[in-house]
Amino acid sequence: MKPLAVLLMLATTVCAGQPTPTESYNLLYLADSGITALQLSVVIDDAGPEASFEKYVDALMKDLDKNSDGVVTVEEARGRLVTAREVQVQLGLPATASPDTSADLSPKDGKISRPEILAHFKRIGLLPFSVRFQPRTSQGMDGGADNLGMAGASTDTPLFQRLDVNADNKLSVEELKNALEVLRKLDRDDDETISIAELQPLAAAPQAIPRTRMTNAAVPPNPFVSVASGESIPKLIRRLVDKYDSADAAKSGVPSLSAKNQKLSAMEVGLAGHEFSRFDVDGDGQLDFTELRPFVTSLEPTLHLLINVTAGKAELSGEATETMRSTADGSVHLQFGPSLISVSATPPAGALDVETLVKPLFTAVDANANGYLEPMEAPDAALSGATFADLDADRNGKLYLEEIVDYMKPRMNAARHRVELTITEQGRTLFDILDTDRDGRLAHREVRSVADKLSMWDKDGDGQLSESEIPLQFRAIAAAGALPNFVAFGASVAGGNPRAPVGTQSSGPIWFRKMDRNSDGEISRREFLGELDLFDKLDLNKDGALELTEAMQARP
């Protein structure tokens, strides 16, 4: 199979074998060795992201029309539409956009139509389906081994050596299956997770490097590209030419070539001859800018995945091969040369009452308990993209719970009706790859997955894993979208694990979140507060822990 490159073209379709309509997107991964298209068919709320998001817009229009006259005025919509600044903050960009939320542009008549709202969301980048890439250098304080490593020591070797019980520099099937028992003995703080510090020998534990954000590090270019995310076709073509155009005569297919020719050959883009010839209109063995336009918009996908966000699983459409496989946790793993891409889906947490969610945080932040917040109690810097003025609907300098709830509702609904595919570069070390939530520690759930990796990584087929066989891994997780909101403000006041990624404590039913005391995304038998026979019934895969997907399937 070809290496991977990801271009996203939008084409609504109905997938064979799927009981519900889906929308298909072609995703390209721009690997060093060439380009490949991967088609994703996405389901959320028994529909595709486009249909689900339009359902949200219809409900929003009805909600905004306070006097039920069939017309939404600018005044009725004031403060109720997601702003460009909020989207910028969510994407980790500087919040430079104006807080103006007016969608009244075409025509500017004091009224906001459904097409104008849809155009507004598209203009600010709030799309029904979007792809986000997180390189390891931008994962900041929760970036796993990058920031939690030990001075003068490899961040991975201690884990590999701990699991390599017979010290033969390879991990056998038996050693991988026993990984959980081996690491459990190292849990010095008894929190049922393993940190890098706990992997170090006690007698010679080096000093930890302070956890700091790598603000000056060069951020590598995003190897995943989505047309649906708004990148222009000419800009995408320029990216391909800049990346793949070579001055190597053998690679370019031009014998006399001594410099880059601003064209791409079959070898440069990693395509077989018959596929390449479909785009090489003039038959010169090169794709120029004109020929690259149909190439980037209609490259035939080599692989088709079905991603059902509602059910929380991804699956292959077609037969699995040695370079692709599905695992019991609802993930699909794709091997592309030295890279491994794991695709999964996180089910929605269910409908949460906004007031129930916000009220405890509001009460905690209301220092003088007077029933409202003043600017000193809720500074703009803490409001995740909003400002005090944005939330203060009546402009009286006092922020009441009702105002926050009214502000939050349409934003949370927008998040629930769209899908984000977040692709995280996990790195090449075993610790990084297993640490899927990037919190710098290994939960039992993460350790249990290591045995499943052997068949995918065992390049020499000897049934064992050496450190050199560990691939560069990307983890792609599809989930209902997220937006900055008041819940982020006050999270530290409400408690929770400061090392965990934002959103960890807000996932799943409330009983699941309450029992998950160490915030590792699962409930152990020790954490479970009910009868153990009930625990056994809820533990559907019988692995000794309750995970989010199992909690979502539980019935009252």
1 pLDDT more than 50: no
Specify the CATH number for the domain of residue 190.
Answer: 1.10.238
Instruction: State whether 283 and 239 are in the same domain.
Output: yes
CB atoms inside a 10 Å sphere around CB 327:
15
* 545 or 501, higher pLDDT: 545
Give the number of domains in the chain.
Answer: 3
Q: What value, to the nearest 5°, has the Cα angle with vertex 549 and ends 228 and 345? A: 15
Measure the CA–CA gap between 281 and 290, rounded to whole angstroms.
10
Average pLDDT, the chain: 77
Measure the CA–CA gap between 549 and 222, rounded to whole angstroms.
30
The pLDDT of residue 54:
94
285 pLDDT more than 50: yes
Range of the domain at 278: 229-298
* 440 or 171, higher pLDDT: 171
Query: Which helix (H) or strand (E) element contains residue 250?
Result: helix 249-252
In tens, the pLDDT along 482-537 reads 765 554 444 433 333 333 333 344 456 778 888 888 777 788 888 888 888 888 88
How confident is the model over 444-465, as a mean pLDDT? Answer: 76
* 43 or 249, higher pLDDT: 43
Residue with tokens 């590090």: 217
In a domain, 554, yes or no: yes
The pLDDT of residue 73:
92
In a domain, 183, yes or no: yes
The pLDDT of residue 476:
93
Kindly state the tokens that stand for 447. Answer: 């350790």
The pLDDT of residue 367:
83
The pLDDT of residue 149:
33
Instruction: State whether 206 and 233 are in the same domain.
Output: no
Instruction: State whether 241 and 270 are in the same domain.
Output: yes
Total count of residues recorded for the chain: 556
In tens, the pLDDT along 295-351 reads 888 888 888 899 999 888 999 876 666 678 887 778 888 888 778 898 999 888 666
**What is the spatial order of strands in the sheet that 331-336 belongs to?**
129-134, 419-427, 472-480, 339-346, 331-336, 324-327
Instruction: State whether 182 and 238 are in the same domain.
Output: no
Measure the CA–CA gap between 358 and 230, rounded to whole angstroms.
33
Instruction: State whether 283 and 237 are in the same domain.
Output: yes
Specify the CATH number for the domain of residue 517.
Answer: 1.10.238.10
* 78 or 72, higher pLDDT: 72
What is the three-class DSSP state of 131?
A: strand
Instruction: State whether 247 and 294 are in the same domain.
Output: yes
The three-state DSSP-derived secondary structure of 480-495 is ECCCCCCCCCCHHHHC
In a domain, 39, yes or no: no
In a domain, 371, yes or no: no
The pLDDT of residue 203:
47
Q: Which of 298, 324, 340 is the last residue of a domain?
A: 298
Q: Residues 6 or more apart from 121 whose CB is under 8 A from it?
A: 53, 57, 82, 127, 414
Q: Which of 298, 325, 344 is the last residue of a domain?
A: 298
38 pLDDT more than 60: yes
Q: Which of 298, 321, 341 is the last residue of a domain?
A: 298
What is the three-class DSSP state of 462?
A: coil
In a domain, 59, yes or no: no
Pick the range with the lowest mean pLDDT from 137-151, 165-179, 255-269: 137-151
The alpha-carbon radius of gyration of the chain (Å, integer) is: 25
Q: Residues 6 or more apart from 345 whose CB is under 8 A from it?
A: 307, 308, 309, 311, 312, 313, 314, 330, 477, 478, 479
Share of the chain above pLDDT 90, in %: 16
Instruction: State whether 233 and 294 are in the same domain.
Output: yes
In a domain, 118, yes or no: no
Letter for the amino acid at 353? D
In a domain, 522, yes or no: yes
56 pLDDT more than 90: yes
In a domain, 236, yes or no: yes
